[in-house]
Amino acid sequence: MRLLPLTILFMTFLSACASDNLVKSEKKELWGIFKNITNKSISESTVIRQSSAFPHTKKWLKNFNQPIILTSSVDKKNQATLIALGNNEERLTWVSSDGISLSYDRGVLIATRGYSQDLLSLKYEKPKKIFSSNNLQYNKIHRYLNGENRYDELKFECTGNKMAPRSIEIVQYSLLVDRYVETCINNYHRYKNEYDLLHGTTVVVSSKQWISPVNSYFLTYNLYAFQKF
């Protein structure tokens, strides 16, 4: 992942080349989420302060005139800003300055492109179904391309649990969220995903998701939810 200044330059270029209709459509669709979040903001006195490794502010966010997300390694040492590339039936694809792309279905990361072990596809329960449940058991299948140009599939048995509401802060917005914890296991691997849902909704504002044995976890911050256009 490259440095933020290069990412901003790339975004400026892509913004000029991208379809105006696509950009306008994404802005209109994502803007409603912002209003939901600000209506449910909580007081500064009860917030858990975000890490100094996440220095982004409302002022920084104003540099971007397209919907963006931020992805990060768990240690926060590698971060990239991605812009909206396309939308297909609630499945959003985002791209970085160096060509890495990530696809999400309502906050669930379902595919990657450009990493050492890409998640080609994910067989999963509908996000709205799992995020609406306090406790649920289901199966997931991660599919990867191996060195012989064939598919490898990792099958997991998963349990999802919704935790008590808590307060967090993202780009200086104070939020009340419901944390949904997803624990998945098979004979060789075990992982635990965490999704922060805007309290009382199924809108994912941030998450920690396992991608593959090689790439491990990604942190994702859905910053488009906080943007104004």
**Domain boundaries of the chain, sorted by first residue:** 4-226
* pLDDT tens-digit series, residues 105-126: 999 999 999 888 899 999 999 9
Report the first-to-last Cα separation within the chain, whole angstroms: 26
What's residue 16's pLDDT?
A: 37
Amino acid identity, residue 27? K
Question: How far is the C-alpha of 187 from the C-alpha of 69, rounded, in Å?
Answer: 33
Q: Structure tokens of 48?
A: 């858990």
* pLDDT tens-digit series, residues 91-103: 899 999 888 899 9
Q: Which residues, 6 or more positions from 22, have their beta carbon under 8 angstroms from its beta carbon?
A: 84, 86, 87
Question: How far is the C-alpha of 158 from the C-alpha of 217, rounded, in Å?
Answer: 17
CATH superfamily for domain 4-226: YmcC-like (2.40.360.10)
Question: How far is the C-alpha of 129 from the C-alpha of 68, rounded, in Å?
Answer: 25
With a cut of 60, say whether residue 132 has pLDDT above it.
yes
What's residue 25's pLDDT?
A: 53
